[in-house]
Structure 1
C-alpha cells in the first residue's frame, strides 16, 4: 500500500518547483491578510481570548498541508464551529475565564481525536446521513444566531444568549446601554463592508483592474476596516471614551500544552465534541469537493477526517480553538492561484509572524469592528429562499429543515444539529422502509418493462412482475412481504410472481428470511416465486443458502427472459434456473 495514501503531502512535494512556490506565496499573502482579522473575530465569537484564534491559524494549517487531501482547502477558525464552541463552553464556564480557556483547549483536542478515530476507521461515509436540507437549515439558523449575537458589540451593549430569543430579550433589556461612539464605529464598518462587497469589484474593474485582482481586493476589505478603526481609536483615544477594544494580546508563538485530564469534564464535553466533529467535517468536505470539481481533482473523505483531526488535535495542544475549512478563504485561495497545500503552510507562517510582531497594534482594535466583520462574513451563510425551494420539492425534507432551523433559533445550536442528525436518519429509514415498487408489464414489441400505471404495456392474468426500487434490508423486509401478499390477494388467477431486482444492491439476513417466508407462503397458495435481474454481488451472497435450494421458481437473467419462459402459464418449469457464471456476472 502506498505511503502517499496516508501522507498526501508525498503526492505533491516531490514535484514542487519555483513556479508553484510563486503562486502559493501570492495566495498565502492574500489568505493571511483575511485570516488574521477573521481569527480574532471568531475567537471573540466563541467567547475566547483573541490570541486563541491566532494560535488556531498556525500549526493546524501546517498539519493539514501534510495530512489533508484537498490542495486548496483553507483550514482555520470558522463561524459555525466558533458558535458551537461558545454554546458548549458557555454552559460550563464563566466567559473569558481561565477555566473556559482550559475547556476550549480540551474541547478542541477531543474534536481532533474523534475526527482521527473516524478517519482511521474510514467512517467518512457517515456524512452521507446528513441530508443537505438539514445542513442548509442548520447553517442558516446558525448564521441568524451569529448575526443577532454580534449586534450587542456593534451597539455597545453587553447582551448574550444561547438562542435567538435569549439574545433578542437581552438586547431589549440592555437597550439603555447603547453607546453612540461604538455604534458609529460598528455601524460605519458594517455599511462600508456591505458596500465593498457589492460595489468595490465593479468599481475596480471599471477602473481597469483585472477581474481576479479586483475580486481579491474586495474580499480583503475587512483588513482596511481593521487598520482604519484601530488608527482612529489610537489617534482620538476612543478607548478612554468607552469604546470597547480587544486589549493586550500576548506576543510570541504558542506553547504546547496538554489538555486537562479531568474525566468528568471529558464526559460533559463529549457530545459537543462529537457534534463539532460532524459539522466541521461535513462543511469542510463540501467545500473541498466543490473546489476539487473546479480543478478536476478528487479528495478522499476518510483522509479529510485524518487531516481535520490532526489539525484540531494540534490546535488544542497549541492553545487554539476548533478549526474547519472556510468557504470564503478557500475561494480566495483558489482565485489567487494556489497550486498546493503549501499555500496554507505559508499562510501559517504569515500568521506566526503577525503573532510575534503585530500584536501590540491589535490592542486598540475596536470590538465593534470585529463584530461587524463577523456579521458581513456570515451573511452569505443565510439562505432563507432554500425553505421555499425545499417546500416545493419535498414536504418531508422541508419538515426536517424547518425543525432544525426552529430548534437552533429557539433552543440551542446543539439541539438543532441533534435534531438534524436524527431527522436525517429518520427520513432515510422511513423512505427506505417503504420503497417504491411497481407492477411492470412489457412495452409492446420491445424487451423493456415499465410501470403498468404509467405506460400502455402488455400484462398477463397468470403472471405478475413486481419491481422493487431499493435494496432489501431489515427496515423494509416486512413491507416486501405485505406487498407481495397484497398482490396475490388482488389477482386470484396468479400462478407466477417475478421479483424484478435491478435496483437491489443488497439483501441482508432479515430480508433473506422474508424472501424465504414469501416463497413458502406462495408455495402454499399454489404460486411459484421467481427472481430476475439479480446483480452479481447479490447472487454471490444467495448462493449456497436454503433460499435457492427451496425456491419454487427460477432466477432469470432478464425480465424479458422471464416473460418468455412463463408466457404459457404452465405450472411446469419453462427452463432450468440460471446459475453459475451467468448470474455471478449479472
Structure 2
C-alpha cells in the first residue's frame, strides 16, 4: 500500500500539475483526472520515458543478465572444499566468499525497498547453476551491464538534465538552484526555540515519530537478518536499534532527514563490498558533489525525479507475496489485503494503524486456543486420554492439563473447556489442573479463577505440579487460600488424595474412594437431570420462535413471565432507576457538550431497545460516564450546538452499525483480548479526565479547551481568583453529600433480603433456563466478601453486585428493619436526585445572576430524524469522516467492553452464560435505531444495573424506566430551570472518582508487578495525552502484553522413554534414550510472527556438533503463519550451512497442507512431514549414508 501511495504522491510532479492536498490518497487520482487537460506534455513525455528506461533496466538485471563471480574478476580463482572443513568458523568464512550455486529466490519475501531484494540471492531466480560464466571477459561484461542497471537513476538524471537544458525551464519545471556546501550544525529543536514550528503540535509529532521509528527499524532489521544469513552470523536487534538511533539522532544536528536502510544500495554492497568502508567512500563522494557539483542539477526536470520514485514505489508492491499467500495461507492473505486497502484508502499513518490492528487480530486468532485436554493414567504416567483410549480415568475426579501460559487472550477458552468436561461427567466431585506446562498466569486469569470457583461450587478445584514461579504468583495473588488444596506444587496423585479427604458441602460423606473406568466420552449411567447443567445457559427452546431467538433475546423470558411474582419487583426497580437516571443523564449531557434534553432522549428510548434485543436480564443501557467523555472529546472543538448534536447523533448511528456488524459476524470474542489491567488503567485514567472536565462548571470558569488534560488544571490554577464562590460551595457540598451516601451504602448499610419485603415466603432456586424463569439467587446468611480486585466500570456500585455489603456479617430477618435498610439504600442510590433537588432549591433562592443554572430545557419527546441529516443538510462542517470513523471505532470498543464486563458478572449471579455476540447485537440495535430519535451513544451503566440486579426480575423494569423518563420529558422539564450546573458537575465528579480503581492497582502491585506497570502506562497515557490517545496506548499495551505472554513457546529436546518407548521431554526424564546423530525437538503450540524467531533460535541452540540431522516433532503445532514458513526456510538454510539435514515429523493434515502449498516441503531434506519420528529418523539416516557414499 505504501508503494501505491508513493506512486500517487508523484503524479503531480510527473504531469506538472498543482494537485490540492487531500485526506484520502485516492482523491488525488480523482483530482488528476479532472485536471488532466492542463498537464505539461514535455513533463509527461520525459517522465514516461524515464519510467520505461528504469523499468527495463530493473527487469533486465533480474531476468536477463547473469550474476558474475566477482572473485574471478578481482582475485585468484578460489575453490573451497566445504566437506573437508571441521571448524564451523572456517566454513562460514568460506561461505562468505563462495556463493551457493543454484539457490532459488524464495517464494515468500519482505521486499522492503525494490526488486533488488532478489539480488541478495546468489543468482537471479531464472538462472540455472550451469549459467555461471567463467570466461573473464564475459564476467567483466556482465559486471558492467549490472552496474549500469544499478545506476539507472543516475542515467535517468543525466538524460533529464540534457533534455531540461535543451527544452528550457519555461517549457518544463526543473529542480532549479541547489545550494552548495556541507550542512552547518544546528540544534534539532531549533524549530521550537525559534518559534518556527507553529502548524503542528507536539502530540502529532510524537505520533508520527513513533510510526516512522517503527518502520525504520522493521525495514532495516529485515534486511540485516537476511544479509546475516548469507554471511553466517547473527544480528543483534538491540545493536540495530542503537545504530539506527545514533545515525538519526546525531545526524539531526547536521540537518538530516530520518534515515533508514535502502535495499538497492545494500544489494550493491552485498555483491561487492567487504566492510563498511564502502559506506565511508560513498559519504565522501556525496560530500564532494555537495561542494562542487550541485550547480549541474539546475536543469534536472522534476518529472525525472518523479519517475525514479514511481518506479521504486511500483517495485514495493508485493504481488508475488500476495499470490503466494492466497495459495498457501488464505486467512493471512485477507490480513495482507486489509492492510493494503486501508493504507491506500486512508493514508500512510492510518494505514499503519490499520496494519497494527491487523497484526493484533492475527495474533489474537493464532493464540486464542491453548492445548487443553483431559488426562488418564497409563502405568505410572498421566497421558492425553483422547490420544490413549486405553488410559484409565476417575469417575470422581477430572484431571486436566493446560499447555502454555494462561493470559487474558486464552484463559476464558481454557476455562470453558474445563467446564465442558464437568457437564459431561455427572459424578465429578473435584477437578485437578496439571500445571506442569503453565509457565505463568496474568492478572486476568487469576481474577477469572474466582469466577470459575463460583461456577464449579460445590465441586472442588486444585492445582498440581506447579513450577516455583507459578506457585509464587498464585500465592501472592491470594488464590492459594481459595483453592481446595492450598499446596499447588504437589504431584497429581498427592493432590487427588488430599481432595478425597475433604468433605463436600451438602454431601454426608467425603469424596468416595477412587473409581476408575476406561476412557470414554460418558462415564455416568445416571440419566437424571444434572444440576450443573446450569453452567451452560440454554435458552427457552420453543420451535415456533426458535428462528427469531438470535435477534430477539427477550423471547427467552416473556413466555415464563409471572405477573404475581415478578411485576411488583420490576415496577419498584423501574421507578428507582428512573429517579436515578434523570439527573445522571442531564449531567452526562454536560460532559458531551450537548443540551440537557439529549441525555434524557437517550434514557427514554435505548433501555427499551436493549430490552428487545439484548441478552442480559438486568443490564440498564443509557448514557455512561466513559462513553460520554469520549463523545465530549469528539465534540468539544465544534463551535455550534446544532453541529455538535448532528455529529453526536451520527456517531450513535455509526457506533450501532459497527457493533451490529461485529455481532452478526460472531466477533464477540474481541473482549477476551483486552486484559483487565490495560482496560482498568484506561478507565481509571478516564475517571480522572471526567473529574478534570467538570472543573470549569464547578468553579464557574470558562477554561480554554486544550490538547492535554493537565493543561486544564494549570489554567484553573491561573484563574482560580475569578471563580464564583456560590458555585464552589454548591458543588463542594454536593460532592460531600454524594460521597457520604456512596460510602454509607458500601460500608454502613447492609443489603436487605428483597424477597422478605414483598413475598410472604418463597424459596427461589436456579434451575435450567428453559424450564422456568431464571431468578436471582437468595442472599446467603453469611455474605460473600467482594474480591480484592475489581473492574468497576461505572462507579462504586460494582460492590452491589456481590451478595451483600462487606461491613456487616449477617442479614436481618426482621421485616421492619429490612424495610428501613431498603429505604436507606434506595436513598443512597438516589443521591444524584437528592443533590439535584437541593440544588434547584438553592438555585431558585440565589437566582440565576448569582449562580449559573441550566436554564430552559425544551419539553416533548424527540422527533424522528435521519441520523445522517448533518451531512445531508451541510450542518457538519468542522470534522471529516475519517476522524469520525476513528472516534466511532474507539467508542464502539468501549461501549462493548464496559457492557460485556458487567453482563458477565451478572450472568455469574444468575448461573447463566453470556452470548457475547448477542450483546453486540443488542447494543448495536439500541444505538443504531435510537439514532433515528436523536439519542447520544449509549452503554451499560453500573449504578443503574446494580439496582436492577438487586430488585428487578426482567427487562420490563427498563421499559418502566423509559416510560417514566418520557413522562418527565412531557411535563417535568420546567422544574429543571434553576438547577445549578455546579450540582451536575458534582454528580459527574463523584462518578469519575469511583472509576479510579485504586484497589485494583494495589492488588496488581503486590501480585503481578509487571502488569501493574502495564496498568500504570495505560493510566498515565490516558491522563497525559487525553481519552483517544490514551485508548490507543492502552490497545498498544494490550498488544505488547499479548506478545510478551506468547513470546516464548515451549521448545525442548525429546528422548525415548525406557519404559514406554514414547518420546518424552529429556529435561523431565533424565534417563531417556537420546540419539547422538539426530536431535529430535518438539514445539508446543502454534507458531506465528511473534514467537517464530525465539522458537528457531531454541532449535538451533539444541543442535550439537555430533548431530547430522534435526527433526521437528510437529504433533502439537496446530498452525503456522507466513512469517513462520519463512522462518522454517531460513532455519533449513542455516542448518544446511552447518552440513545438517532438517525434517518435520508428525505434522497434522492441516499443517501438512500448509507446508505443501507454500512450497516449504520441497525445500526440506524430506518432503514428507506426516511420518512418525522413527520413520523420519530412519529415512534421514539413509540419506546421510547415501550422501557419504556419493550416491
Q: TM-score by structure 1 length?
A: 0.84
Deviates more, 1:278-287 or 1:110-119: 110-119
1:119 matched to 2:727: no
1:321 counterpart residue number: 936
Larger radius of gyration: 2
1:209 counterpart residue number: 818
1:286 counterpart residue number: 901
1:12 matched to 2:557: yes
* Distance (whole Å) between structure 2 residues aligned to residue 377 and residue 309 of structure 1: 25
Shift of 1:43: 0.7
CA 1:491–1:226: 2 relative to 1, 3 Å: farther
**Contact 1:72–1:341 under 8 Å retained in 2:** yes
CA 1:133–1:440: 2 relative to 1, 3 Å: farther
* Distance (whole Å) between structure 1 residues aligned to residue 858 and residue 1169 of structure 2: 79
**Contact 1:186–1:372 under 8 Å retained in 2:** yes
Partner SS, residue 863 of structure 2: coil
**Contact 2:1056–2:1074 under 8 Å retained in 1:** no
1:168 matched to 2:713: yes
Partner SS, residue 438 of structure 1: strand
1:183 matched to 2:791: no
CA 1:310–1:284: 2 relative to 1, 3 Å: same
* Distance (whole Å) between structure 1 residues aligned to residue 1114 and residue 1002 of structure 2: 37
Shift of 1:484: 2.1
1:248 counterpart residue number: 856
CA 1:538–1:203: 2 relative to 1, 3 Å: same
1:23 counterpart residue number: 569
1:307 matched to 2:888: no
CA 1:499–1:184: 2 relative to 1, 3 Å: same
**Contact 2:860–2:970 under 8 Å retained in 1:** yes
* Distance (whole Å) between structure 2 residues aligned to residue 246 and residue 470 of structure 1: 60
Shift of 1:446: 7.5
Partner SS, residue 841 of structure 2: helix
- 1:353-392 correspondence runs (5 A): 353-387=967-1001, 389-390=1003-1004
The aligned length equals 559
Shift of 1:436: 4.2
Shift of 1:447: 8.5
Shift of 1:242: 1.4
CA 1:217–1:454: 2 relative to 1, 3 Å: farther
CA 1:451–1:82: 2 relative to 1, 3 Å: farther
CA RMSD of aligned residues (A): 3.5
**Contact 2:609–2:925 under 8 Å retained in 1:** yes
Higher helix share: 1
Task: Spell out, residue by residue over 1:91-143, the C-alpha distance to the aligned partner (whole angstroms, 9 max, x if none).
Answer: 2x12x622222222222222222222222333323333333222111101110
Task: Spell out, residue by residue over 1:333-386, the C-alpha distance to the aligned partner (whole angstroms, 9 max, x if none).
Answer: 1112x2222222221112111111221111111211111111222222102454
* Distance (whole Å) between structure 1 residues aligned to residue 826 and residue 1052 of structure 2: 54
1:559 counterpart residue number: none
Choose which of 90, 93, 102 in structure 1 pairs with 2:646.
102
**Contact 2:1141–2:1180 under 8 Å retained in 1:** no
1:266 matched to 2:881: yes
* Distance (whole Å) between structure 1 residues aligned to residue 926 and residue 1175 of structure 2: 62
Shift of 1:145: 1.2
**Contact 2:1111–2:1177 under 8 Å retained in 1:** no
Shift of 1:147: 1.3
Unaligned stretches of 5+ residues in structure 2: 1-545, 751-811, 1184-1191
Choose which of 232, 239, 245 in structure 1 pairs with 2:847.
239
CA 1:441–1:327: 2 relative to 1, 3 Å: farther
1:49 matched to 2:595: yes
CA 1:269–1:496: 2 relative to 1, 3 Å: closer
Shift of 1:168: 0.3
1:137 matched to 2:681: yes
Partner SS, residue 5 of structure 1: coil
1:580 counterpart residue number: none
Shift of 1:493: 3.6
* Distance (whole Å) between structure 1 residues aligned to residue 1091 and residue 1062 of structure 2: 27
* Distance (whole Å) between structure 1 residues aligned to residue 652 and residue 1180 of structure 2: 70
**Contact 1:212–1:335 under 8 Å retained in 2:** no
Shift of 1:313: 1.9
CA 1:8–1:571: 2 relative to 1, 3 Å: same
Partner SS, residue 847 of structure 2: helix
CA 1:204–1:390: 2 relative to 1, 3 Å: closer
Choose which of 1039, 1054, 1065 in structure 2 pairs with 1:425.
1039
2:1101 counterpart residue number: 486
1:2 counterpart residue number: 547
Task: Spell out, residue by residue over 1:274-319, the C-alpha distance to the aligned partner (whole angstroms, 9 max, x if none).
Answer: 1111111111111111111221122222222221122122333222
**Contact 1:247–1:364 under 8 Å retained in 2:** yes
CA 1:2–1:513: 2 relative to 1, 3 Å: farther
- 1:84-99 correspondence runs (5 A): 84-91=630-637, 93-94=638-639, 97-99=641-643
* Distance (whole Å) between structure 2 residues aligned to residue 388 and residue 319 of structure 1: 42
**Contact 2:1053–2:1081 under 8 Å retained in 1:** yes
Shift of 1:39: 0.6
Q: TM-score by structure 2 length?
A: 0.43
1:218 matched to 2:828: yes
1:437 counterpart residue number: 1051
CA 1:313–1:538: 2 relative to 1, 3 Å: same
Deviates more, 1:397-406 or 1:15-24: 397-406
1:38 counterpart residue number: 584
Task: Spell out, residue by residue over 1:8-65, the C-alpha distance to the aligned partner (whole angstroms, 9 max, x if none).
Answer: 1222223323133333222211211211111111111111111111001122111111
**Contact 2:709–2:1023 under 8 Å retained in 1:** yes
Shift of 1:528: 6.3
* Distance (whole Å) between structure 2 residues aligned to residue 218 and residue 191 of structure 1: 13
**Contact 1:78–1:326 under 8 Å retained in 2:** yes
**Contact 1:158–1:174 under 8 Å retained in 2:** no
**Contact 2:1058–2:1073 under 8 Å retained in 1:** no
Shift of 1:199: 2.4
1:330 counterpart residue number: 945
* Distance (whole Å) between structure 1 residues aligned to residue 725 and residue 1071 of structure 2: 76
**Contact 1:37–1:223 under 8 Å retained in 2:** yes
Choose which of 1063, 1081, 1093 in structure 2 pairs with 1:466.
1081
1:507 counterpart residue number: 1120
1:578 counterpart residue number: none
Task: Spell out, residue by residue over 1:194-221, the C-alpha distance to the aligned partner (whole angstroms, 9 max, x if none).
Answer: 1111225665559923666644442222
1:405 counterpart residue number: 1019
* Distance (whole Å) between structure 2 residues aligned to residue 209 and residue 244 of structure 1: 41
CA 1:179–1:455: 2 relative to 1, 3 Å: farther
* Distance (whole Å) between structure 2 residues aligned to residue 387 and residue 197 of structure 1: 21
Shift of 1:78: 0.6
Partner SS, residue 254 of structure 1: coil
2:612 counterpart residue number: 66
**Contact 2:636–2:705 under 8 Å retained in 1:** no
Choose which of 629, 652, 657 in structure 2 pairs with 1:83.
629
2:744 counterpart residue number: 199
* Distance (whole Å) between structure 2 residues aligned to residue 455 and residue 367 of structure 1: 72
**Contact 1:201–1:214 under 8 Å retained in 2:** no
1:153 counterpart residue number: 697
Structure of greater relative contact order (alpha carbons < 8 Å, 6+ residues apart): 1
**Contact 1:160–1:166 under 8 Å retained in 2:** no
Unaligned stretches of 5+ residues in structure 1: 557-561, 574-586
Partner SS, residue 940 of structure 2: strand
